[in-house]
Amino acid sequence: MDKKGPVKGSDMGELTVWRDAAIGVKNDTVVWIGSSEEASILEASQIIDAKGRLVTPGLVEPHTHLVFGGSREKEMALKQQGVPYLEILQQGGGILSTVRATQNTPYDELLEKALFHLDRMAMHGITTVEAKSGYGLNRETELKQLQVAKEANEQHPLDIVSTFLGAHAIPPEYKDDPEAFLDEMCELFDEIKEENLAEFVDIFTETGVFSVPQSRKYLLKAKEKGFGLKIHADEIDPLGGTELAVELGAISGDHLAVTSDEGIQKLANSNTIGVILPGTSFYLGKDDYGRAREMIDAGAAIAISTDFNPGSSVTENLQLIMSIAALKLKLSPEEIWHAVTVNAAHAIGRGNVAGSIAIGRKADIVMWDAPNYLYIPYHYGVNHTNTVIKNGQVIYERQTNR
Ligand code: IZC
Ligand code: ZN
């Protein structure tokens, strides 16, 4: 996967596979790649024998709402009664209930919770994670979330890439004036930049949340301040968020479950990566899982992600999402592996450091209890990791007597 730039279109179907390979690591970096036979004459202070197991780059998770207070298990019954996600939000639940919980949760508790979820991601083979704010919707709590993500990045072995999603919902007090709320969020841009609290700015472009013109205006201001752009686009209604992502040169357009034909063409002809979140469609009981198949066939670069969040996709298990991508998006195993490694890394500005095993890169490597790469999407719903290595250090090993 040592290609320049994201892997697009039919190239996503071509995977480089080495048999009987060996990887040499010095400190935190890959310094040598060759055959096991060549490796057997080299000296090493420590040897980890994969014993014929599949070995891949650490997974890159390009879209999570990692830092939040509380949980929303009570909404499951509402969903079963058929109350739509956007209606729960309109009634002050959904995102807004997590906002209240996040505002009321002390910093240290939010940090502990985020570290717990990061541990679980690490155990599932993820070595780099994007994390969004967006459950504060006011200065104090948005900054609190971003600070938590920054400290979690320092304390936890996983790398976190931070995104400011202040424009995630309209707080009740701004119900009649969403633009005034967006102006308030814009006022945080300088402080976030100065304190290095986020690299990207994201917005939820959706019916009843922010319109395409509001999103354009907001994101243009973010771009002027030097932020990379992301958009929650075309998740539930096809408003044209995908087209907007391309128009603004966003690094990624995320969700894209109901993108138009025109949006697919524009995406294919752009450098914007489509981050598809099929776990969300599964969890919300939608029929539209995303048009990733058509996007790849048109020549686009696709990544996939859990969308880990307390409302619409409650899982840290990206392997499960790989199975959903195979079954519901009809992606091939080769396409899926690109989508959770090299392309996911490019979708969060880490294309040069994460997402592939190559000389000079950080040693982020997973050893799987699987005989080949087809096996992970095939055997679904469980954790297949055997050993997870981050920056050259073993951070997880499956405990077993077998
Ligand atoms: O908390 O429901 N879609 N934002 C946009 C989400 C899902 C997260 C949530
Ligand atoms: Zn999201």
Across the strands, what pairs with 24?
Answer: 32
Q: 36 and 27 in contact (C-beta within 8 Å)?
A: no
Gap between the Cα atoms of 318 and 346, Å rounded = 17
Q: Which of 145, 345, 354, 334 is nearest to 251 (CA)?
A: 345
Report the pLDDT value the prediction gives residue 1, as an integer from 0 to 100.
61
The answer to whether the CB of 129 falls within 8 A of the CB of 64 is: yes
Q: Which of 76, 79, 96, 168 to mutate to test the pocket of ligand 1 (most atoms within 8 A of CB)?
A: 168
In Å, how far from its chain's centre is CA 336? 14
Tell me the two tokens of residue 91: 């009634």
Q: Where are the alpha helices (DSSP H) in 35-138?
A: 36-39, 75-80, 85-90, 95-103, 107-123
Q: Tell me the CA–centroid distance for residue 377 and ligand 2, in Å.
A: 22
Q: Which numbered atom of ligand 1 lies nearest the CA of 68?
A: 1
Q: Is 101 helix (H, G, I), strand (E, B) or coil?
A: helix
Please state, in angstroms and as integers, the Cα–Cα distance from residue 276 to each residue in 62, 203, 301, 375, 386, following that order: 10, 16, 11, 21, 27
Q: Which token pair is 144? A: 């609190």
**How confident is the model at residue 400, as a pLDDT?**
82
Cβ–ligand 1 contact at 94 (below 6 Å): yes
Per-residue CA distances from 64 to 13, 128, 164, 312, 314 (Å): 26, 11, 12, 11, 10
* 232 CB within 6 A, ligand 1: yes
- The pLDDT score that the predictor gives to residue 168 is 97
Kindly provide the residue ranges of all beta strands, DSSP E only, lying in 168-281, ordered along the sequence.
200-204, 228-233, 252-255, 273-276
Q: Specify whether the CB–CB gap between 52 and 371 falls below 8 A.
A: yes
Q: Which atom of ligand 1 is nearest to the CA of 235?
A: 3
Q: Whose CA is nearest to atom 7 of ligand 1?
A: 312
* Contacts with 340 (C-beta within 8 Å, 6 or more apart), sequence order: 59, 60, 61, 303, 304, 318, 322
CA of 126 to the centre of ligand 1 (A): 21
What pLDDT is stored for residue 3 in this prediction? 61
* 322/374 Cα distance (integer angstroms): 11
Which residues, given as ranges, of the chain have pLDDT below 50?
A: none
Please give the distance, rounded to the nearest whole angstrom, from the Cα atom of residue 297 to the centre of ligand 2.
25
The torsion angles phi and psi of 230, rounded to 5 degrees, stand at: -135, 155
In the numeric block, the tokens 């995102």 are attached to 95
Return d(Cα 138, Cα 78) in angstroms, integer: 28
Is the CB of residue 278 below 6 angstroms from any atom belonging to ligand 1?
A: no
Ligand nearest to the CA of 311: 1
Q: Residue 141: how many CA atoms within 13 Å on its side-chain side?
A: 21
For 165, the token pair is 């999603």
For a pocket test of ligand 1, which of 204, 312, 315 has the largest count of ligand atoms closer than 8 A to its C-beta?
Answer: 312
The residue type of 68 is F
The tokens 């995406």 sit on which residue? 267
Establish whether residue 306 lines the binding site of ligand 1, counting it when its CB lies within 6 angstroms of any ligand atom.
no
Q: Please name the residue whose Cα sits nearest to atom 3 of ligand 1.
A: 312
